[in-house]
Chain A
Amino acid sequence: MAGLDGLRVLDISTGISGPFCARLLADGGADTIKVVDPMGGDPTSEEAAALVKGGDLHSSALHAFLNQNKRGLSLDIKHSAGQAIFKQLAAKSDVVIESSSPGTLDELGLGYKDLATVNPGIILTSITEFGQTGPYKHYKGDHLAISAIGGWAFCYGEQDREPLQAGIPFMYHMAGTYGAIGTLSAIQGRRQDGKGQHVDVSAQEACLNMLAYPQMLAQYHGTSLPRSFAASMQTFYLKAQDGWIALNYLSPVEWENLCALIGAFHLAVDPTLLYDMEKKREILPELMKFAQEWAKDKTQDEAFQAAQELRVPAGIPYTPKEMLDSEQFRSRDFFHKTSQPGLGTFAQPRNPFKSPSWRSDWQPAPRRGQDNDEVLTDIGMDPEYLRKLSDEHVI
């Protein structure tokens, strides 16, 4: 039995954060219903679909990833009949996940107060760019903007060039995960008094929590690290025969081992090097010379194995191809074969950690409105009425 069996979630969010949050809950076994506009769909899936040649709304990798294990309902919640149906659904649900601009649901008569009237136990989780309150609450954001105003970009990149976002939408993954935490902790709290609540998650603030404490450094030392991919000088990217390899170290012992590995014993003798950034910067060219010499006639894998043998925490900057080929991932069944209608058959990551609480009955991402009949007759709606709604594009 999955951990969240018996929980029902209505996912009316778009973008990445909200659907990612809902997917974590769906993977955990919650009956998660993805609600989309009957005419519009989910713009994020469409945007991504444009990237896949000949793709339509349902044949995008992002849609397949974000919406698996959810059921599909199309419902126009801007229409009064749609709003009435949504309330009936909310009355029989535990959680609503949404990502609209603050105030939008209130205007539709579907805000927290409206939902709590029909279901005092309901948990409304809003995951937005800037949160429900404050002067920026109606600002438009994207991953780049959030990375900038959440403090990430200033630290990431090189000093003499423009600040950067990360190349994958981490801030939204973080916001989505915080959304799932906010939701399940509110479910825990509901056991105290039967009451749900409104949970407000901000992507900007998720970004703030992704930082390696530059605010602490600024206050303690009055300084900040220079913008650099390797400000701490604890990682060195080297060219091996068939691609990049990285040597990293954290502890003094690992530093000694790293120097021994590349034959630069003379750099290991001065332990103060580790804590003196100036000195470290001075010896960097010398270190890189030895390291590059060491790496150049090895394959990535040979270099990685040799380093790990000496307990140097090395890494290979894996591409998807290398991840799929990796013996380590394979031995743990990390990838599983899936079929997404309209898209094809492919392997994808199973779950972010191993636990008996994940659901075992995997389902592909739903087509728009694929489960309308099942979901709506479940709450007692008449098939005749459903046909009428369909004709009016409410569903």
Chain B
Amino acid sequence: MGKDLLKNIRIADLTHYRSGPSGTTLLGGLGADVIKVESIQRLDGFRLFNTLDPKNSAFYEMGPYFNGCNTNKRGLTLDLNSVDGKARFLELITKSDVVIDNFSARVMDGLDLGYERLKAINPSLIMVSMTCFGQTGPWRDYVGFGYTFDQIGGASAVCGYEDSPPTNILAASDAISGIMAVYAILLALEERERSGLGQHIDMSQVETLAFLMGPNIIDYQLTGAIKPRMGNQHPVFAPRNAYPCQGEDEWVTISVESDLQWSALAIAMGNPEWVDDPRYATMASRKRNERDLDKVIADWTRGQQKRSVMELVQSLGIASAMVLNARELLEDPHLKDRNMHKKLDRKFTGEHLYPQFPIHYSDAICEQRMPAPTLGQDNEAVLADLLGLTTQEIEKLRQDNVIGEELLLGAGSG
């Protein structure tokens, strides 16, 4: 228990798919009022991914990914292409601290909802635009999503096995730009405390990832060398890899970072002669004979439980960890002890465990508070209680398809 750190902060959230929503869910977890804006004409496309039942008329309420990254938000529908929808959106902006979108750069201006217009009605508004390439530059209007960011942001080229082509990295850049947007908002809120003014944050998701490549970019200029793909290996330390264990697709990692650690491991493996073996005795010789080492360590781990190996190797003061799959994450005793999954009950899909956030406060709440909203779930509450519309006005919006609670047939997704 503790404080709601972001109480009284309201976020108008236009983001869809993963990069924006994975950040705004955390803001909601910290107590901000996050209002997710979709429309019955254009759903968040993430709703359709891996839906439980594609033939169900409510298939868009059954997506595990959407439901995973849209917790802690209220749900509002507004057709932003309609005059009435725009008007209600602008009213929402007057009552919001932050508006965030991850459209292509031209979309908000195209809707006549660009920063200048929003700022005119709310000068303290913080707007975060999470585009692919930024608000400016020759590629401003080019398209992309997580994989594109992974590639142009510089990660794909250095990620993968040493003998594999470049790889995408599970669209990790979505997760990174999602939380970097949260940092951007908190930074802008601090500034607003003193100046009273808002700002427009121009986030290119390609750049957010490229920023993390800083050390590689500096290294390249100093040495002229492009870092290769290295699998699990370290440029200096060896051995360092994931090793097979008893069972199907079971693995444990071991990373040796000093001669002392190597001695302890060699003895624990029952091969004390390897401590002084010239092939393995020094970091440099271990690095040279890394492939052989990987084989002998794999021979040692193969017949053992991954947990036993981890516990033994950790007891020697050496970094080692089990490779956990999704089921095991849900059951891992350490993660359980830290309450890292929380049960939420959602309409259409029922009870599931949802991953919690990696920030634990001694005096604040940071947790999954409520399941992802069904489409338009909070239309009444937002339009009546927050914007002061009458029942008749709301009904009119519904008749005109400006709002609604079900997908408009024949419509697509965003």
Contacts and interface: CB of A to CB of B under 8 A. Distances in A.
Interface of A: 1-5, 7, 24, 28, 47-48, 50-53, 61-62, 64-65, 112, 130-137, 139-142, 144-146, 148-159, 161-168, 170, 173-175, 177-178, 180-182, 184-189, 191-193, 195, 197-206, 208-221, 224, 227, 229-230, 234-235, 237, 244, 246, 248, 250-251, 254, 275, 308, 311-321, 323-324, 327-329, 331-332, 334-335, 343-344, 346-349, 351-357
A136 B321 CA distance: 10
B304 interface: no
Interface string B142-177: 111101111111111111110011111111101110
Contact of A186 (B5, B155, B172, B219): B5
Interface string B199-230: 10111101110111111111111110011011
A328 B133 CA distance: 8
A316 B151 contact: yes
B54 interface: yes
B246 to A, nearest CB: 15
Instruction: Give chain B's interface residue range (CB within 8 Å of chain A).
Output: 35 or more
Contacts of B123: none
Contacts of B355: 208-209, 211, 213, 215
B242 A163 contact: yes
Contacts of A167: 155, 158-160, 227, 229-230
A313 B168 CA distance: 14
Nearest to A275: B54
Nearest to B208: A352
B47 interface: no
Nearest to B209: A352
B213 A135 contact: no
B117 to A, nearest CB: 19
Contacts of B317: 140
A197 B362 contact: yes
Q: Which of A156, A182, A317 has the largest count of B CB atoms less than 10 A from its CB?
A: A317
B64 A208 contact: no
A368 to B, nearest CB: 19
Contacts of B17: 250
Nearest 3 pairs of A and B residues by beta carbon:
A315-B151, A205-B358, A145-B321
Interface in B320-370: 320-327, 329-330, 332-335, 337-338, 340-341, 349, 352-364
A132 B330 CA distance: 20
B359 A329 contact: no
Contact of A189 (B67, B349, B364): B364
Contacts of B332: 149
A209 B201 contact: no
B229 to A, nearest CB: 6
B321 A47 contact: no
A320 B150 contact: no
B39 interface: no
Interface stretch (B75-83, B181-189, B396-404): B181-189
Nearest to A175: B358
Nearest to A245: B151
B330 A215 contact: yes
Nearest to A66: B215
Q: Which of B3, B152, B201, B226 has the largest count of A CB atoms less than 10 A from its CB?
A: B152
B220 A320 contact: yes
A215 B353 contact: yes
A163 B251 contact: yes
Contact of B236 (A51, A202, A352): A51
B359 A201 contact: yes
Contacts of A355: 184, 187-188, 199, 201-202
B3 A193 contact: yes
Contacts of A191: 193
B320 A145 contact: yes
B220 A185 contact: no
B147 A177 contact: no
Nearest to B336: A134
16 contacts: A134-B337, A140-B314, A144-B255, A148-B323, A166-B155, A167-B159, A175-B358, A200-B360, A212-B18, A212-B171, A315-B148, A328-B133, A328-B139, A349-B217, A352-B203, A357-B187
B255 A224 contact: no
Given A4-B187, A220-B52, A319 B154 contact: yes
Interface in B1-39: 2-6, 17-18, 22, 26, 30
